[in-house]
Amino acid sequence: MPVESDEELAEILDYETIAVVGCSNTPGKEAHEIPKYLRDHGYDVIPVNPFAEEIFGRAAYDSLADVEEEIDIVDVFRPSDEVAGIVDAAIERDDVKVVWTQLGIRDDDAAKNAEDAGLRVVQDKCMKVEHQRLKA
């Protein structure tokens, strides 16, 4: 079952390193503003976007497989039909603990695959909203 309880969400929000798949370099877009908020609140945000050289002054990676740093959370800003492939890439890594899909993004089959592989899953929730509600 995807994570729903405030206790579990707060625990997940204690992790520090977030790879943001679909991170945008366009101010005003949610895929830019929410990762910026997370950076501003002390998270290590790793942008994953094959169409960007850098975001927030940091090199952007083409894919999760290319990320050299350890990842705690994979935050997904891509359409629901791309979640399965992102989950597969997260499972391939041995460091990812959580797959989090932003508001309006969900794939129940991919979530089950992630959970079966030992990952925690948060679907259809905004990290910024949950952080403001539980941590700010």
**Which CATH number belongs to the domain containing residue 41 in this structure?**
3.40.50.720
Residue 107 CA from chain centroid, whole number: 14
Distance CA 78, CA 89 (A): 14
pLDDT tens track, the chain, 136 positions: 889 899 999 999 999 999 999 999 999 999 999 999 999 999 999 999 999 999 999 999 999 999 999 999 999 999 999 999 999 999 999 999 999 999 999 999 999 999 999 999 999 999 999 999 999 8
Q: Which residue has the tokens 């005003």?
A: 28
User: The domain containing residue 15 runs over which residues?
Assistant: 6-134
1 is a domain residue: no
83 is a domain residue: yes
β-pairing, 98-101 vs 58-59, is unpaired
Domain count, the chain: 1
39 is a domain residue: yes
pTM above 0.75, yes or no: yes
Distance CA 37, CA 53 (A): 20
109 is a domain residue: yes
Distance CA 127, CA 136 (A): 12
Helix intervals (H) in 13-74:
30-40
124 is a domain residue: yes
